[in-house]
Amino acid sequence: MSKMLLASIHDVGPRAEAQVDQLADLLGGLLGGMNFAMLVVPDHWGEAPLAANPAYQAKLRRWADQGVEMFVHGWFHKDLAQHSGMAAFKAKHMTASEGEFLGLTRAEAARRMADGRKLIEDIIGRETTGFIAPAWLYGEGAREALAESGFALAEDHMRVWRPATGETLARGPVVTWASRTKGRQLSSRFFAGLARLGLHGLDVARIAVHPGDTTVPALIDSIRATYGSFAARRRAGRYAELLAS
């Protein structure tokens, strides 16, 4: 398999419709087409239910028909669990109350995965590509549920794998940006700069963007530079290709 770039837009749904549209136009231009994935949230923070929005459902179908891969990205995205130990550290420092699947029981994680899959597959009229937990954070219950979920692919910060077997299909850090604070903006831009120098040796490079990125011009500049750097050296591919490699 030739070297490949996997691009993705997180937090897709009506709660951030304008920002997602902007990112879809941006990536489509940088990659020469709809060669990217969307991570769809069924009811972002309980404020934007896809089930009640036929106009956005039609938009998702159009994107899927154009070749965009669709992942289930949690259900609410919001994390309401009480954590302790390492999970509490991750919940506090790796995300801002967004790690929905970090503290769920196996049964609740399985329910939300199944409900999200059915909703999105009914909307787009085809199978979803896989499941990616909000903030790439999985608790023990979520990992157990995922292994039995029937999803073909899953992803975290450092790898893509087959949930049923645990087989790693791609390894290496996701390049992404954080808009929440000035410090996180600077650190994510710094890492993206390092990635443009040091990650071209990866067989599979993954670059992910979020709606909040559109609110910071310096992040958009960094996103343009980073996608441009990787797209010049490898083709934009599809996550599903990893299953055949």
- Is a pLDDT exceeding 60 seen at residue 188? yes
- For residue 57, list its beta bridge partners: none
Looking at residue 87, what is its pLDDT?
Answer: 41
The pTM is what?
0.91
Q: Is the pLDDT of residue 88 over 80?
A: no
Give the pLDDT band (50/70/90) at residue 19.
very high
User: Nearest Cα to 150, choosing from 170, 165, 167, 136?
Assistant: 165
Is there a contact between 25 and 55 (Cβ–Cβ < 8 Å)?
A: no
CA distances from 51 to 98, 108, 123, 129, 191 (A): 21, 20, 9, 20, 37
Average pLDDT (129-149) is 97
pLDDT tens, 216-235? Answer: 999 999 999 999 999 999 99
Residue 91 has pLDDT above 80, yes or no: no
In the predicted model, what is the mean pLDDT of residues 137-143?
A: 96
Tally of domains in the chain:
1
Q: Which domain holds residue 205?
A: 4-244
Distance CA 237, CA 243 (A): 12
- The enclosing domain of 188 has a CATH number of 3.20.20.370
43-46's contacts with Cβ under 8 Å and 24+ in sequence apart are 43/13, 43/75, 43/76, 44/11, 44/13, 44/14, 44/15, 44/16, 44/76, 44/77, 45/15, 45/76, 45/77, 45/78, 46/76, 46/78
Is residue 86's pLDDT more than 50? no
Q: What is the pLDDT of residue 98?
A: 66
88, exposed or middle or buried, with CB in 10 Å at 0-12, 13-18, 19+? middle
For residue 179, give every residue at least 6 positions away whose Cβ sits within 8 Å of its Cβ, in sequence order, or none.
185, 210, 212, 213, 215, 216, 219
Q: Residue range 34-47: average pLDDT?
A: 94
